[in-house]
Structure 1
């Protein structure tokens, strides 16, 4: 992560400040790395605000990886109710008075995307439209704009998953039935389909907005949608019990970049749809949570077979043991 005040995530809300007042407002609170990660998944009751604020989480000082910062941008000065909604999202900041200041009118979504550096992970190059002219030779590019869904490639968990997928391909692994659980923007599903273009692919998410974003990103990146070989099926689903997910099982590759708690809770259902000898990629967990997550899957007959660490965010690769006799 950069030592600069680089945005890790943007929740789209408005585009150019309040046209009538010519001003915008910023609210700043300290947060933890885990709280920043959770915000990328769920903005709670803020989703009901109209217009949505723009949220950006960042790591101001790499020497202090647990001390992050939340900046929320508004068209107008936030009222007491809005301030309370923001502070409720950051339990570690209880008792801290938010810093609220007037800022120059600006297109915060555009500015935030300009601050998002492109990501090179193995053969993949993930970028926004501001970097579309700087694609390296021999790289597979994906255009993923910052927006309402998590998974632009900027976060270490997404980057780690891309690197793990690249490693699996280089090692000669072949997959024919894959699923990206909690797909967010669709990026990891797109990357897996590029590596194994003849696979039956599925992308699921509990959030319908994420599936809408994935559908849009698929069109932008020329990813064919559908249920046939070489196409991506999209499913709005909570967990693995959805009829379509069950019907397309078993999977020989499952990618789940979520959070430690849900990963542990879903261990039995994820393991149940992974075929024997199949590969599972897990991310969205902190280094301090890796043992508990790996243990939950070990109890389901999986073994830890690989790991990539990006700062305090590990990506785990597990294999389901084959049964004999």
Structure 2
């Protein structure tokens, strides 16, 4: 299948979500949708999610993911609205909404539809507009990249990216540090896309993309790391805090994201109990990233 021109697409919409449920339902939709966006309805103080996918793609996986998200959020299963959308129209809007973007002082995200040009002083990462779900536009991803920029001078040698998605964080680290990075995700589709993106960015030999669920894979838990990215969700971050600390070298750094500002206290408390200290908090809109260091 040509990812740029799927035969028929549909939009999935969920409205009326409380703020704390947004990451859960975003993750559920991302399990079958390559692009997911969110928005706030100020009059009702609720949130909505809108996703695009190939028509009926992943129906069997989607319903259980939504049921689990509702159970974890403690709410009734919300209505899922579907509407067809012309593929060419969606792609055109995606290209228009995905410009070249500078993040922090070091990274430049260049979509594949933007011509290459000499760029100095920034690490250039090329990504496909049709796969914009990992493009760096999301506050979580931006927070991680800004956090990494502030500690890259430490030159970590062993690096792990949990929940890599498009591979953007792993690629930034591999390209800036010239180090090998292990990138993992629980979604086979994301693992393939991260590997493809690594090749497109000339990082085939520096980025290893692997299917793994957190620390459960033997190759992941057998390592010790100087730097770990984990851009996932607040509750999994809390449950993995001790494993993260156990696998960080003394003085090692973890950059955590995928949490709303209202969830920072919960995530921070779990990691402090595991022997980690907060170095920096980066807020990007409603989303936060935490830079932690092992004592």
| Coarse TM-score class (shorter-chain normalised) | 0.7 to 0.9
Write the mapping of 1:282-297 to structure 2, written as runs, cut at 5 A. 282-297=256-271
Shift of 1:57: 2.1
Task: Find out whether 1:121 has 2:103 as its counterpart.
Answer: yes
Deviates more, 1:60-69 or 1:260-269: 60-69
Deviates more, 1:233-242 or 1:100-109: 100-109
Matching residue within 130, 140, 143 for 2:123:
140
With the length of structure 2 as denominator, give the TM-score of the two structures: 0.80
Structure-2 residue corresponding to 1:253: 227
Aligned-partner Cα distance in 1 for 2:24–2:77: 20
Aligned-partner Cα distance in 1 for 2:34–2:183: 26
Structure-1 residue corresponding to 2:162: 181
Choose 1 or 2 for highest CA Rg. 1
Q: In the TM superposition, what whole-angstrom CA distance separates every residue of 1:293-312 from its partner, at most 9, and x where no partner exists?
A: 01101111111111111112
Deviates more, 1:100-109 or 1:159-168: 100-109
Shift of 1:66: 5.1
The structure richer in helix per residue is 2
Structure-1 residue corresponding to 2:191: 211
Aligned-partner Cα distance in 1 for 2:219–2:65: 36
Shift of 1:129: 1.8
The number of residue pairs the alignment matches comes to 287
Provide the alpha-carbon RMSD of the alignment: 3.7
Task: Find out whether 1:266 has 2:240 as its counterpart.
Answer: yes
Aligned-partner Cα distance in 2 for 1:284–1:250: 23
Matching residue within 308, 311, 316 for 2:285:
311
Matching residue within 155, 166, 169 for 2:149:
166
Structure-2 residue corresponding to 1:234: 209
- SS of 1:217's equivalent in the other structure is helix
Q: In the TM superposition, what whole-angstrom CA distance separates every residue of 1:79-114 from its partner, at most 9, and x where no partner exists?
A: xx9x98998698599697776666667442443233
Write the mapping of 1:83-122 to structure 2, written as runs, cut at 5 A. 106-122=88-104
Write the mapping of 1:11-160 to structure 2, written as runs, cut at 5 A. 15-17=6-8, 26=11, 28-32=13-17, 35-43=21-29, 47=32, 56-59=36-39, 67-70=47-50, 72=52, 106-122=88-104, 123-133=106-116, 137-146=120-129, 150-160=133-143
Aligned-partner Cα distance in 2 for 1:13–1:88: 30
